[in-house]
Amino acid sequence: MWFLGVISMIVISSLTILQQLKTVYSFEKSEFRVVPMTQHLARLHGSERDAAIKYFETKDNFSDQTLALIGDEFDNDLDSLKRIVDREELRSLVERVSAHHTSYRGFLDRQRSILKKDPAYDPLPAMKDVEPLSKSLEELPERRSGALTTALIVLVLAGLITIAGGMLFARTLTRPIKLLQAAAEKVGQGLYETVPITSKDEIADVTRAFNQMSDELKQVDQERMQMMSEISHEMRTPLQVIKAGCYTVVHMKDGPVLNERQREAVGMIHQATNRINQFVNLFLDVAKMEAGLMKFKFEVSNLFDVLQPLVMEAQLIAGTRQIKVDFDAQEIPLLTFDKDRMSQVFSNLLSNALKFTPNNGSISVRLARETECNQIKTNGKGCIRIQVQDSGVGIPEADLKKLFSKFYQAKNVPQVNEKGSGLGLALVKHVAEAHGGAVSVESQVGVGSTFTVVLPA
């Protein structure tokens, strides 16, 4: 319906413009023929006036015949002009010319009659008082200028209507497409939104199909999360049993003594169980996050006290691979946050930095307070910015927008030996936003990545 309305408006405007242009063209065409002939009549009238003056001065037959010939030529040209006039405005002008000449001929006849009765009469003073025909034609340039002005106004209006119609048409056409594009990007991030249908055209059909796809994907994702949540819950008890069994085997006093190889095997089982248990806990946290059931224990504390032990632990691990870890911490005020959840955030970021940084690389952690923060609302108190920068493999630009979606892993993951779950950064984003903050990433392949967490001060 929008398209039909816009197209109808443009068609009606175009027809109106064409009609106006036709009118202007017709007027200009009439003027093109009438104006030169009218100006020629004005010149003839001037010659007729000069001949009359000469006749009244000399009173000879030659001057009288010349005056008569000029008068006849004027009448013939005036008749021709009347035949080609097709507009009321110009017809009235020609009628004034005709009336002026008729009046002038009557004036000459009266002067002749007076002169015959009184040969001493001098008609020349009366001749000077006669208004020349050119006075009646002074408005011709103004009329032509008015026609030109009308044409220019019509052209300007045509341009404005065309631009306005084009902008309205483009907006009508592109707005639903932009909404679809934005919704598609959110679906790629795991946010299954639908787009309102505001028309009954082909774009509405595409939007309807997109909404159906989004709803189906949302249902599939919910079913998958539900299934994974149930599996994770079921795995928790066996994992605890395995961990307890490993501890008992290693530390029991009355049982058989394990040799070195057996101890290593039990240790490997214990480590693998811990990794599985960490994944289960992380997945359950993400499930709670999506269901809106994640609970936070906010308390006033120093973020430095949470971050420093994590950095020191990362330095110990990095030392075995000759990776340098720097920690630049400025003095910051006390904040209100959940210490356990915030510990999860920076543990994930540091773990990723270690995972993707090659041997002999570097990692830099920076903690600072800033007064200007465009990413979040600060209420004029500034913000706390925490950056974790590494010299790792980097992240392709195409992956950056989806990086914080659950289960998503960048295409450069195969370049490292250890793979993650694809859940850590999704949890980082949720926890940061739950604290009124935000997380972002900048990266360049082959150079490294910088993850930034911003929290209100």
How many other CB atoms sit within 10 Å of the CB of residue 341?
21
In a domain, 130, yes or no: yes
Calpha distance 233→236 (Å, rounded)? 5
The helices-and-strands tally (H runs, E runs) of the chain is 11, 7
- Which residue would you say has higher pLDDT here, 185 or 89? 185
Calpha distance 67→69 (Å, rounded)? 6
In a domain, 175, yes or no: no
Calpha distance 85→77 (Å, rounded)? 13
Contact 221, 186 (CB under 8 A): no
Domain identity same for 274 and 303: no
* Contacts of 197-202 spanning 24+ positions with Cβ under 8 A: 198/2, 199/1, 199/2, 199/3, 200/1, 201/1, 201/2, 201/3
What is the DSSP code string of 359-377?
Answer: TT-EEEEEEEEES--SSS-
In a domain, 307, yes or no: yes
Domain identity same for 315 and 379: yes
Could you list the residue range(s) of the whole structural domain that residue 326 is in?
299-456
Domain identity same for 31 and 117: yes
Q: What is the pLDDT of residue 293?
A: 75
For 335, the 3-state DSSP assignment is strand
* 328: Cα separation from own chain's centroid: 41
Mean pLDDT of 307-317: 92
**pLDDT (tens digit per residue) in 326-352:** 999 999 999 999 999 999 999 999 999
Q: What is the pLDDT of residue 451?
A: 96
Q: Is the pLDDT of residue 439 over 90?
A: yes
Q: What is the pLDDT of residue 137?
A: 57
Q: What is the pLDDT of residue 155?
A: 65
Domain identity same for 273 and 315: no
Mean pLDDT of 250-255: 69
The domain that holds 320 is classified in CATH as 3.30.565.10
- Which residue would you say has higher pLDDT here, 104 or 391? 391
- Of 106, 138, 156, the position where a domain reaches its end is 156
Q: What is the pLDDT of residue 380?
A: 75
Side-by-side strand order, sheet with 362-370: 324-329, 362-370, 383-390, 448-456, 438-444
